[in-house]
Amino acid sequence: MSSALAKALSPTVRELRILCCQSGQASAGVRQFIQSAYPGIKKANPDLPVLVREANGTPARVFARFERGLEKHVDVDNLSVTDIERKVEELVSP
């Protein structure tokens, strides 16, 4: 896991939501990302809600909710764990 995600995220980040398919090949990288990155993110940000939502056929996406209700997302279908980490870092950076 990247060191940027293992550190405390900006206090403007209020929530991370990870959506993926529990069995689809396009979400394989996201499932690996969850297994490898989730513990580090929660350890560095214990009060940050990190929600994982799995549903059959759902395209893989990562959402970040910021203060004042602003939301941004990135599509991560068919990406490797490294590519997903880079996209999430870009998503949550101020």
pLDDT of the chain, 94 residues: tens digit per residue: 555 677 888 889 999 999 999 999 999 999 999 999 999 999 999 999 999 999 999 999 999 999 999 999 999 999 999 999 999 999 998 7
pTM (2 decimals)?
0.90
Which CATH homologous superfamily contains domain 10-92? Glutaredoxin (3.40.30.10)
Judged by DSSP in three states, 34 sits in helix
88 contacts 62 by C-beta, under 8 angstroms: yes
Neighbour-count burial of 85, counting CB atoms closer than 10 A to its CB (0-12 exposed, 13-18 middle, 19+ buried)? buried
The domain spans of the chain are 10-92
Report strand pairing: 13-20 vs 61-66: antiparallel
Write out the two tokens for 13. 């980040």
Beta-bridged to residue 54, according to DSSP, are: 20
